[in-house]
């Protein structure tokens, strides 16, 4: 197994693309097209996973979608009503156009049954893990399951979980998290959606048990990229004059800039109150005037949401003004830059 050690997603993305660039002659067929696949499994170790926003212009990650999908997961949802507002292609990964069979948050919170009887209801794996780690910080049995062999192993549908299992443990008052992934698209998954969503989960659990956030390790059994996408992006990265790609000469991590900072998702000790605010936010209509007690929702999530809907209405200049009201300067900067690229 090869290892990528990085401060955060911004240097991790470059190191991951560099690693795959040496595998360009090793083309493999896959269900969805030819891929470049690394010769062995890869572990990506994030030292500061809370620095989760990718700023790379060539990658052009949509920060609005990644942020909102992360909250949708923490709410345990599998319906597409909320998340399709930020990416209408989500329906392409659904068998019925309305729900996701492999939705991670749903599997964390409201999927697996308590025993064999439907009458017993579902179990909230996150609640159990949080309580176990509160009771015993040395616990090594905190396994969060996403893969269901009964319904996934022989499934013919378009959507089964790529990330399959998550391990949590506390060391030196820091929550360490390891995510195991059977199939990891480097561009869209590993350094795109996965780092955002899984680091938000890690922060959620760490805050609930009142410990610091530690390292996040992503174990990718198939570390790959689709050839057409990789070749185009690899070429554009090499042509970029921002710095010498892959040697990382003159590279400055965006989070080294004092104007770009992470803002914590949790500002209170009561996780139940935060969960209620989350449900209220997901039910919020565009521009609806709702009061939130938690500043994360009122001053981070709401400005991002309103900026997105202004952009969707064709009012991108107003969206660029609105996104700057977001007090999480990493999300605000990424949102502003993404909107600016749409204008250009």
The whole-number pLDDT of residue 256 equals 93
The confidence score (pLDDT) of residue 241 equals 62
Q: pLDDT value at position 116?
A: 53
- Counting Cβ atoms within 10 Å, is residue 199 exposed (0-12), middle (13-18) or buried (19+)? buried
Residues 6+ apart with CB under 8 A from 272: none
- Round to whole Å and give the CA distance between 157 and 103: 13
Residues whose CB is less than 8 angstroms from the CB of residue 299 and which lie 6 or more positions away in sequence, other chains included: 325, 326, 327
Of 195, 194, 184, give the one whose Cα is nearest residue 225.
184
Question: What pLDDT score does 235 carry?
Answer: 87
Is residue 180 annotated as a catalytic residue, yes or no?
no
Going along the chain from its start, the domains and CATH numbers come out as 2-256 (3.30.572.10), 261-344 (no CATH)
CA 205 to chain centre: 15
C-alpha atoms less than 13 angstroms from C-alpha of 309 in its C-beta half-sphere: 15
Do residues 51 and 255 make contact, with C-beta atoms less than 8 angstroms apart?
A: yes
pLDDT at 26: 77
Beta carbons within 10 angstroms of residue 21's beta carbon:
15
Catalytic residue, chosen from 6, 40, 142, 162, is 162
**CA within 13 Å, CB half, 262:** 18
Q: Write out the chain's pLDDT in tens, 344 residues.
A: 999 999 999 999 999 999 998 887 778 888 778 999 999 999 999 999 999 999 999 999 999 999 999 999 999 999 999 999 999 999 998 999 999 999 999 999 999 987 654 555 789 999 999 999 999 999 999 999 999 999 999 998 889 999 999 999 999 999 999 999 999 999 999 999 999 999 999 999 999 999 999 999 999 999 999 999 999 998 888 887 655 666 777 688 999 988 899 999 998 778 999 999 999 999 999 999 999 999 999 999 999 999 999 999 999 999 999 999 999 999 999 999 999 999 98
Cβ burial, residue 293 (10 Å; 0-12/13-18/19+)? middle
Which 8-state DSSP code applies to residue 172?
Answer: T
pTM, entire model: 0.95
Per-residue pLDDT, 24: 79
């Amino acid at each position: 197994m090869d290892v990528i050690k990085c401060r955060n997603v911004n240097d991790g993305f470059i190191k991951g693309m560099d690693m795959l660039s040496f595998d360009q002659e090793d083309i493999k067929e896959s269900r969805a097209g030819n891929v470049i696949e690394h010769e062995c499994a890869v572990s990506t170790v994030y030292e500061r996973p809370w620095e989760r926003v990718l700023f790379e212009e060539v990658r052009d990650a949509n920060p609005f979608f990644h942020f909102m999908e992360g909250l949708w997961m923490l709410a345990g949802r599998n319906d597409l009503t909320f998340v399709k507002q930020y990416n209408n292609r989500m329906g392409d990964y659904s068998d019925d156009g309305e729900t996701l069979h492999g939705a991670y948050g749903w599997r964390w919170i409201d999927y697996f049954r308590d025993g064999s009887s439907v009458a017993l209801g579902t179990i909230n794996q996150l609640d159990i893990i949080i309580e176990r780690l509160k009771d015993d910080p040395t616990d090594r049995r905190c396994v969060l399951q996403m893969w269901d062999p009964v319904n996934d192993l022989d499934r013919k549908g378009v959507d089964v979980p790529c990330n399959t299992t998550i391990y949590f443990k506390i060391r030196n008052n820091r929550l360490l998290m390891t995510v195991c992934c059977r199939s990891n698209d480097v561009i869209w998954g590993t350094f795109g959606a996965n780092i955002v969503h899984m680091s938000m989960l890690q922060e959620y659990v760490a805050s609930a048990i009142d410990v610091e956030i530690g390292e996040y390790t992503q174990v990718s059994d198939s570390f790959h990229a689709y050839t057409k996408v990789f070749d185009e992006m690899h070429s554009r990265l090499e042509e970029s004059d921002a710095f010498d790609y892959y040697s990382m000469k003159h590279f400055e991590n965006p989070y080294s800039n004092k104007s770009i900072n992470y803002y914590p998702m949790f500002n209170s000790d009561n996780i139940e109150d935060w969960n209620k605010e989350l449900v209220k936010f997901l039910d919020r209509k565009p521009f609806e005037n709702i009061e939130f007690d938690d500043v994360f929702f009122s001053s981070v999530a709401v400005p991002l949401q309103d900026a997105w809907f202004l952009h969707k209405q064709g009012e991108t200049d107003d969206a660029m003004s609105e996104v700057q009201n977001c007090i999480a300067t990493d999300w605000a900067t990424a949102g502003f830059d993404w909107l600016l690229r749409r204008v250009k």
